[in-house]
């Protein structure tokens, strides 16, 4: 099966799974997932599965990427904060849908690889930082949208504070039973509207920055 036919099959799976936003589907179609997976998994680049990428992290299942991106309700003038760059795949999709993407990764080796991919794909509206995602990026706040690609037990208040009024934050949240749900926060003038979307499985969101160079 050719790359093109695999990609078509994947897009059909995403539509069947609930990704119906045409802008999101187009961004996924235009993002070469094979450039974000490890060499050993190239043959699975367009399978609807999560794959390991090093540092104990994964590149998310395409269906989850599509549904999370769709939940953000992105506009092309928006400024987005991503916590957990990972391979850079989700970042690249966000970059096709928003004006500016600020992305934070705690693992420096992963971030260096992702930055090289952004350069190769000429994605010039991404600004990246190796830092503790729990702290967000206060110098660039407020953000129209925030997305977490790793699961805390609660969304850090620092991140909620960096969300603009009317903004949306999407995050996987874990509980004491080991279950995780994707949760959508919408900031109002007074508070937050919170909606639980569906069950997910993400690596945990951890504080700090590892010492690896």
More confident site: 200 or 111: 111
Identify which of 153, 192, 145 has the alpha carbon closest to the alpha carbon of residue 169.
145
More confident site: 28 or 212: 28
- When pLDDT is cut at 50, 70 and 90, the band that residue 203 belongs to is confident
Q: What is the pLDDT of residue 24?
A: 98
pLDDT tens column, 124-151: 999 999 999 999 999 999 999 999 999 8
Q: What is the pLDDT of residue 65?
A: 97
Flag whether pLDDT at 94 surpasses 90.
yes
Q: What is the pLDDT of residue 175?
A: 78
Rounded Cα distance between 115 and 124, Å, is: 10
CB 73 within 8 A of CB 168: yes
Q: Where are the beta strands (DSSP E) in the chain?
A: 51-54, 57-59, 79-83, 100-105, 126-130, 143-148, 163-174, 180-187, 192-199
- When pLDDT is cut at 50, 70 and 90, the band that residue 31 belongs to is very high
3-199: CATH homologous superfamily?
Vaccinia Virus protein VP39 (3.40.50.150)
Give how far Cα 18 sits from Cα of 46, 69, 156, 210, Å: 17, 12, 29, 37
CA atoms within 13 A on the CB side of 89: 28
Rounded Cα distance between 105 and 112, Å, is: 10
Structure token pair of residue 171: 């995050």
Q: Would you tell me how many other CB atoms lie within 10 Å of the CB of residue 161?
A: 12
Q: Which active-site residues does the annotation give?
A: 60
- φ, ψ (nearest 5 deg) of residue 104: -120, 135
Q: What is the pLDDT of residue 208?
A: 85
pLDDT tens column, 36-67: 999 999 999 999 999 999 888 999 999 999 99
Rounded Cα distance between 166 and 189, Å, is: 8
Query: Residue 10 gets which letter from DSSP?
Result: H
Whole-number mean pLDDT of the chain?
94
Percent helix / strand / coil, the chain, rounded to 5: 35, 30, 40
Q: What is the pLDDT of residue 211?
A: 66
Query: Residue 205 gets which letter from DSSP?
Result: P
Q: What is the pLDDT of residue 177?
A: 78
Q: What is the pLDDT of residue 3?
A: 85
């Amino acid at each position: 099966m050719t790359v093109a036919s695999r990609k078509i099959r994947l897009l059909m799976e995403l539509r069947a799974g609930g990704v119906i936003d045409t802008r999101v589907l187009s961004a996924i179609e235009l993002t070469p997932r094979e450039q974000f997976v490890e060499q050993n998994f190239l043959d699975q680049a367009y399978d609807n599965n999560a794959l390991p990428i090093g540092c104990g992290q994964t590149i998310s299942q395409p269906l989850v990427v599509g549904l999370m991106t769709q939940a953000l309700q992105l506009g092309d003038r928006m400024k987005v904060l991503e916590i957990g760059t990972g391979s850079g795949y989700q970042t690249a999709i966000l970059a096709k849908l928003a004006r500016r993407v600020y992305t934070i990764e705690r693992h420096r080796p992963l971030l260096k690889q992702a930055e090289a991919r952004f350069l190769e794909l000429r994605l010039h509206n991404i600004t990246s930082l190796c830092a503790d995602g729990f702290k967000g990026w206060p110098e660039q706040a407020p953000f129209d949208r925030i997305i977490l690609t790793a699961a805390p037990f609660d969304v850090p208040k620092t991140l909620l504070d960096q969300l603009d009024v009317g903004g949306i934050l999407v995050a996987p949240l874990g509980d004491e039973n080991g279950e995780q749900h994707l949760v959508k926060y919408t900031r109002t003038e007074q508070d937050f509207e919170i909606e639980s979307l569906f069950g997910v499985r993400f690596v945990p969101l951890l504080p700090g920055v590892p010492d690896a160079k």
